[in-house]
Amino acid sequence: MLQIAEIRENKDAFAIALQKRNIDALPLLESAIAVDENRRNLQGQLDEILAKSNKLSKEIGDLFKSGKGAEANELKSQTSGLKESSKEIGEQLNAAVEELQNILYTIPNIPQDSVPAGNSDEDNEVISQHGEIPTLHDGAKPHWELVKDYDIIDFELGNKITGAGFPVYKKKGARLQRALINYFLDKNTAAGYEEMQVPHLVNEASGYGTGQLPDKEGQMYHVGVDDLYLIPTGEVPITNIYRDSILDNKDFPIKMTGYTPCFRREAGSYGSDVRGLNRLHQFDKVEILRIEHPENSDAALDNMVSHVQEILEELELPYRILRLCGGDLGFTSTLTYDFEVYSTAQEKWLEVSSVSNFKAFQANRLKLRYRSGEKGTELAHTLNGSSLALPRILASILENFQVESGIKIPKVLIPYCGFDTID
């Protein structure tokens, strides 16, 4: 969430920057400023009334002590009117605070200067491409056919148990899934990320804290009776560990990782983009998250990108890195790099990771601050990355490593899964 003080100081610059997201934010920014002016005016009135009331109370006490009860009672009649005015203005002030908060919740983060302009994922900027795209044998298949041949993932059984988008992993498919999770966590903890196991349901405050609410409310599964949400990503519960926290400089950097299932209602509709593992309602993901001093967050983002690169290279998968354009940038992000692996059987690139810097946007919602000496406290910076999302990684391994006799396993995973082929 943007800070209202920064909006007042940078209204025009913010409006221009948000044009990269293809939105006209000027009316929203001006509305926020107008509501804040009203809030500040009401706060001033309330402070003045309270000061006057306190002064009268002291005078009344002094009069009673001096035996001037009649004069004291005359002044007491004035305090009743002040209390009524205080209550009325206080209610108006609370309404203005809530109105301002609701407006600020609808304004996305400011894209960094390096974010390219664009309308959709077709306008994302390819930064680099790595690895060789394999040449497959005649008759090579997409993963949704391979998993049937080797009986390792059952989409129909998942549909029977729950519905479309909830696959059942079986036999070597389940073991390969577990191997990937353990490998990702080991890589992350070796790089200094502390492993966390967190709840898979969160309350509304947590959803607002990281920006999923109200922006993605319709995409989240809601448990109405308990007013809880199934997590769309491990970013939500892990980041909220530090909600309402004040850190010291010595606490930086905070590096966390965790495995969670993820639940999303927006699984798409029809076509190859949503076939098989390409898009699911429930899927597994390992996250890396950092809380940084503002001076170090840019370098931390570069470090996270390099870390994900290393994992993909060890998996021997061809991949590319993209800088997201303004039209494809997430609501809370100021800069995001996407990683895509190439699926040779599908002849397409599949997104497997997003690595983002949110700067102070999430921290302002979370009330996550650090002590900064003479300045008191300031907002920390938060960052998040997939390391990695499993479905498309698994799909790419199955498709790119298939041979006529079966499916080879990347060397780095063999110690984790205990077999070198699926046949």
CA separation (Å) from 328 to 21, 33, 266, 332, 354? 8, 27, 16, 12, 12
Residue 40 in marked binding region: no
Residue in 77, 172, 64 with CA at minimum distance from that of residue 414: 172
> In the prediction, which pLDDT does 271 show?
55
Helix (H, G, I), strand (E, B) or coil at 204: helix
User: What's the CA gap between 76 and 72, in Å, rounded?
Assistant: 6
Give the tens place of pLDDT for each residue, 281-303.
Answer: 999 999 999 999 999 999 999 99
Residue 287 in marked binding region: yes
User: What's the CA gap between 207 and 280, in Å, rounded?
Assistant: 21
> In the prediction, which pLDDT does 272 show?
56
CATH number of domain containing 47: 1.10.287.40
In the chain, the amino acid numbered 102 is N
In the chain, the amino acid numbered 401 is F
Residues 140 and 93 both lie in one domain: no
CB 396 within 8 A of CB 342: yes
Residue 233 in marked binding region: yes
Residue 206 in marked binding region: no
* Residue 114 belongs to a domain: no
> In the prediction, which pLDDT does 374 show?
75
> In the prediction, which pLDDT does 71 show?
73
Residues 386 and 281 both lie in one domain: yes
* Residue 180 belongs to a domain: yes
> In the prediction, which pLDDT does 213 show?
94
> In the prediction, which pLDDT does 7 show?
98
Residues (pLDDT < 50) of the chain are 269
User: What's the CA gap between 423 and 421, in Å, rounded?
Assistant: 6
- Encoding tokens for residue 53? 């009331």
* Residue 111 belongs to a domain: no
Residue 119 in marked binding region: no
> In the prediction, which pLDDT does 358 show?
98
Say how far residue 8 (Cα) sits from the centre of its chain. 26
User: What's the CA gap between 207 and 213, in Å, rounded?
Assistant: 5
Residues 141 and 65 both lie in one domain: no
User: What's the CA gap between 257 and 395, in Å, rounded?
Assistant: 23
- Name the β-bridge partners of 256: 194, 289
In the chain, the amino acid numbered 296 is N
Instruction: Please tell me the total count of domains within the chain.
Output: 2
CB 339 within 8 A of CB 353: yes
Residue 39 in marked binding region: no
Residues 238 and 294 both lie in one domain: yes
Residues 138 and 244 both lie in one domain: yes
Q: Which of 105, 137, 170 is the last residue of a domain?
A: 105
Q: Which of 71, 105, 139 is the last residue of a domain?
A: 105
* Residue 115 belongs to a domain: no
* Residue 216 belongs to a domain: yes
Residues 76 and 130 both lie in one domain: no
Residues 241 and 345 both lie in one domain: yes
* Residue 110 belongs to a domain: no
Residue 102 in marked binding region: no
> In the prediction, which pLDDT does 317 show?
98
Residue 310 in marked binding region: no
Residue in 119, 29, 8, 114 with CA at minimum distance from that of residue 334: 114
- Name the β-bridge partners of 384: 289, 356
User: What's the CA gap between 350 and 338, in Å, rounded?
Assistant: 10
Residues 208 and 327 both lie in one domain: yes
Residues 10 and 151 both lie in one domain: no
Domain enclosing residue 65, as ranges: 4-105
* Residue 171 belongs to a domain: yes
Residue 194 in marked binding region: no
> In the prediction, which pLDDT does 385 show?
98
Q: Which of 73, 105, 137 is the last residue of a domain?
A: 105
Residues 342 and 266 both lie in one domain: yes
CATH number of domain containing 397: 3.30.930.10
* Residue 314 belongs to a domain: yes
Residue 352 in marked binding region: yes
Residues 134 and 79 both lie in one domain: no
